[in-house]
Amino acid sequence: MCGSLCQRSSLTDTRAPMTLILAIETSCDETAAAVVEGGWIVRSNVVATQAAMHAKYGGVFPEVASRMHVETITPVIREAMEQAPAAWDDLSAVAATYGPGLPGSLLVGLSAAKGIAFGRGLPLIGVNHLEGHVYSHWLKIEDDAVSGNGLKFPLLILIVSGGHTELILMRDHLKYERLGATLDDAAGEAFDKVARLLALGYPGGPAIERVAASGDPTRFEFAMPKVDREFAFSFSGVKTAVLRAVQAYGETDGRGSVPARAPVPDLAASFQRAVVHQLVEKAVEAADRYGATEILLGGGVSANAALREAMQRRAHVPVRWPPLWLCTDNAAMIGAAAHYRFEAGQRDGWDLDIAPNLKLE
């Protein structure tokens, strides 16, 4: 039980007393609450996913999402407090994601956090969801491993999820420079749309990755898009190229029926290769340019093994990604980010509003 844990505790020893933060995350389709100690120990991490419900619609249905958050938020918070275990009086603060995300969904989590903070006389801390993905790298993971151990700034961070594709240069704690983002679809959104096109179901990323495993990634050449801004991404072109390729085999309605002769594994593998290529080329170029010590991946798409492998192969610096339970949306990462904000003195007022289009910069 020593090794990396001991190194880490020498860092945390300078911070007294240890913070204990209840964090709430409801920006999209996961209702999540966690209790995080000292910014790195996950005392509890409860996630109620709505994925099965949204699968019926082939994507997240905002009205349904906010209604489900309302139904689940109280039991999820209670469970996080019980599992920790923590009493209200033990808490240093209550944190919640206030953006970016779906307005109705964000409102549920932020309102719950305000209610608890107000009722218990605790500080309220609003957290940017993307900053949460960044700080997932500073959490203690299984056994005695701490993912953030030894991280040195500047760091190059690639956040790839259903709603975001962001290339961020992090020069210090809480200091970000947004180098680029997607000009159209997010990377995960492209996976989801192409999966629907190939009748593979929702969420699309894992389905494409599974099918692509038996496909030929070089069968279709989906060209790298030309974008004016150096570190910007674009995925709508490759999505349209896949549609055209499918149409060459017969009629398709673009969402659920694929011509019988269409080579779905080859299409999936070629699409995945094109998306991965774009992400890797830009991230590696940016890491080299800004002298990043490491490349950190975050967000749901960083679960993709082809992305991880290609990034590791091409990068000139180490590449890290969080374990799967921290790649996808969760509240532990919000608690980690909130710790650094708390230590920096951030305290939000009761007038803190949701910010559905919040940026990280």
Q: Which residues in 279-295 are b (16+ Cβ under 10 Å) and which e? A: bbebbbbbbeeeebebb
**Is 46 within 8 Å of 119 (Cβ atoms)?**
no
Stretch that binds Zn ion, among 18-26, 200-208, 324-332, 343-351 (CB under 5 A): 324-332
Residue 185 contacts which entry, Zn ion, ligand KG4, none (Cβ below 5-8 A, type-dependent): none
Q: Which residues in 128-167 are b (16+ Cβ under 10 Å) and which e? A: bbbbbbbbbbbbbbeeeebbbbebeebbbbbbbbbbbbbb
Give the separation between CA 117 and CA 92, rounded to whole angstroms: 10
Stretch that binds Zn ion, among 39-47, 83-91, 156-164, 343-351 (CB under 5 A): 156-164
Least Cα distance to 25 among 169, 125, 165, 120 occurs for: 125
- 30 makes contact with Zn ion (CB under 5 A): no
- 188 makes contact with ligand KG4 (CB under 6 A): yes
- 31 makes contact with ligand KG4 (CB under 6 A): no
Binder of ligand KG4 out of 132, 300, 322, 335 (CB under 6 A): 300
Task: Report, in Å, the least distance between residue 21 CB and ligand KG4.
Answer: 21
- 109 makes contact with ligand KG4 (CB under 6 A): no
Stretch that binds Zn ion, among 56-64, 188-196, 217-225, 328-336 (CB under 5 A): 328-336
Binder of Zn ion out of 166, 294, 329, 348 (CB under 5 A): 329
Binder of ligand KG4 out of 126, 205, 322, 335 (CB under 6 A): 205
Sign of CA dihedral 7, 144, 291, 39: negative
Task: Report, in Å, the least distance between residue 311 CB and ligand KG4.
Answer: 13
Task: Report, in Å, the least distance between residue 330 CB and Zn ion.
Answer: 9
**Is 36 within 8 Å of 44 (Cβ atoms)?**
no
Give the separation between CA 321 and CA 166, rounded to whole angstroms: 15
CA distances (Å), origin 8, targets 18, 41, 139, 175, 221? 14, 11, 11, 21, 46
- 303 makes contact with ligand KG4 (CB under 6 A): yes
Token readout for 67 is 């209604």
For residues 78 to 107, the per-residue mask of contacts with Zn ion, x marking binding by CB under 5 A and - elsewhere, is ------------------------------
Q: Which residues bind Zn ion (CB under 5 A)?
A: 161, 329
Q: Which residues bind ligand KG4 (CB under 6 A)?
A: 28, 161-163, 188-189, 191-192, 203-206, 209, 299-301, 303-304, 328-329
